[in-house]
Structure 1
Amino acid sequence: MAQQRKRTNGRTVALTSDRIIEAALRIADAEADLDRLTVRRLAAELEVGTMTLYGYFRSRDEILDGMADRAMGRMRLPAEPDAGPAEALRTVAYAFLAMMREHPSAAWLLASRVTGSPTALRGAMEAVLQRLVDAGIPGRIAVRCYGFLITYTIGFVGYQTPRPWGRLADPESIEQRRRRVHHYAGLPADEFPQVVKYADAIADLPSDGQFISGVEAYIVGMLREIDRKD
């Protein structure tokens, strides 16, 4: 296919499939709804016509699969082997969290559609299952662990993303957290006695500590099950 070209800041830039996917991820990561990523909007972002994009991707679904390829297919797992099942479960949980933080749209892709992308399956499923099995987790239990960790992370990222006070330490986020505590603490105590009493803890629900607490509780239960299988 002949490359399309556009002028940016006085220079000519080639339009490629990679640049289209990068732009799609940039738009989707900034939004809270994949429906806002339309072919028309993507074309406007790239300053080309919509039909130009169809020369690279036959449909919006193919663009979404390309986004899954990029985000999930490149999920990074540490090179060092894990020292047993518990460490492997932590490794996978934190890798899912890092991937979905880098590209929040990955969480929305996984929550809203089934991707047919072999690259995404290799990066975010096959490699993960192999990691768990290599750490000594029986195969079928490893599949269940994979299922819990990815769905738990999808839900957590979906909750945390619009609540930046849970993970960011910049002044704006700190101020947002302070306002949330003030909001919960200021509710009528006769109607919301528990919310008022634990306002500070409730404001920490979207924190990384909350994510870690859930992972650690799951690990305790799974280690017991693995021990029973031995």
Structure 2
Amino acid sequence: MSIWMRPERPQRSAPGPRPAYSRAQITETAVAIADAEGLDAASMRRIAAELGTGAMSLYRYVPRREDLIELMVDAAAGEMGLPDRPTGDWRADLSLLAHERRALWRRHPWLASLTEGHPVWGPNSLRVLEFTYGALDGFGLAIDEVAGLVGLISGYVAGVVRTEVGWAEEARRTNVDMRQWMSDIGPYVQRLITSGKHPMFARIIRETQTPWMEPDARFQYGLDRVPDSIAATLPGEAGQARRSAVADEPTRPTC
């Protein structure tokens, strides 16, 4: 049974004191542990120790590990500062969504460690879903098309933030950040370039600019380009873009 269909508090089979804990309290404790030490550290035994109780008593509230992770993901989604409904400006709405999701994952790096699996349909996650899909509603697209377009921006954010979180975790573990790593590996890079065997690698090293941007600028650089890909598939949007391009062309004299 889905955790979202289970009663919030376990049923009492006999008279006695009301349950001492809540699902929200357990979830909040789990999130705090995961933020500080990683997702694996947020075990029921550890949560119970933080709450001053036995692990078995908490399984009455959250029966499975999978349920706990769903609750944690949904609780985190509740932090996203999204309006109740889309504004009508789909570009602005999706940009806000991207920035909010990036900020969320950076606050809770364990989110980036989760592998893609079944979706979480808790109340906060559903609110985000309604906002996201609603931003592209009204263009007459099939829902599968909307899902594909949402996937473009979601995939971009996930890819960038997983890299950011990965670098941050490596820097924490080794005390070597990206710039220091690039400096340390410089002699090997120079050898690869001098060999002439890897021309595209040489171009990347010599010409690329984005790795040296500050993280916010690097994120925005890619984000500015994703909506153009989405716009190309939207009825009216693509036509408007083409009309604007034609209008911007210099007038040609007629014979």
Match of 2:219 among 211, 214, 218: 211
In the alignment, which residue of structure 2 is the partner of 1:180? Answer: 181
Aligned to 2:105: 100
Alignment partners' CA distance in 2, 1:137 and 1:84: 16
* Equivalent residue number for residue 7 of structure 1: none
- Mapped to 1, the partners of 2:136 and 2:216 lie a distance apart of 23
Shift of 1:21: 0.5
Of 21, 28, 34, the residue aligned with 1:22 is 28
Counterpart residue number, 1:54: 59
1:67 equivalent in structure 2: 72
Whether 1:156 aligns to 2:157 is no
Residues 6-44 of structure 1: CA deviation (Å, up to 9, x unaligned):
xxxxxxxxx432221011112223345x34432222223
Q: Deviations over 1:83-136 (max 9, x none)?
A: 633323312211221222233333334x343244331441221221113326x6
Q: Gaps (5+ residues) in structure 1?
A: 5-14, 166-172
2: CA distance between counterparts of 1:156 and 1:31? 22
Structure 2: which 5+ runs fail to align?
1-8, 10-17, 170-174, 195-201, 241-255
Could you report, residue by residue, the CA deviation over 1:161-206 in whole angstroms, capped at 9, with x for unpaired residues? 13249xxxxxxx9x834413422434341214636546985455x8
Picking from 80, 86, 98, the partner of 2:91 is 86
The answer to whether the 8 A contact 1:21-1:66 is kept is: yes
Task: Give the partner amino acid of 2:128.
Answer: A
- 220-229 or 75-84: bigger deviation: 75-84
TM-align CA RMSD:
3.3
CA contact (8 A) 1:23 1:45 kept: yes
Higher alpha-carbon deviation: 183-192 or 16-25? 183-192
Q: Rg bigger for which structure?
A: 2
Return the alpha-carbon distance in structure 2 between the equivalents of residues 139 and 73 of structure 1: 28
1:143 correspondence with 2:147: yes
1:160 shift after superposition = 0.6
> Given the two structures, how large is their TM-score scaled by the length of structure 1?
0.72
> Contact 1:76–1:95 at 8 Å: present in 2 too?
yes
Write the letter of the residue equivalent to 1:102. Answer: R
Structure 1 runs, 4 residues or longer, greater than 6 Å off: none
The answer to whether 1:117 aligns with 2:83 is: no
| Structure 1 residue 151: Cα displacement | 2.4
- Output one character per residue of 1:23-69: Cα deviation in whole Å (capped at 9) or x when no partner: 1112223345x344322222233332111211221121221121122
SS of residue paired to 2:188 = coil
Change (3 A) 1:106 1:196: closer
Does 1:38 find its partner at 2:43?
yes
Structure 1 residue 78 displacement after superposition: 4.4
Percent identity of equivalent pairs? 23
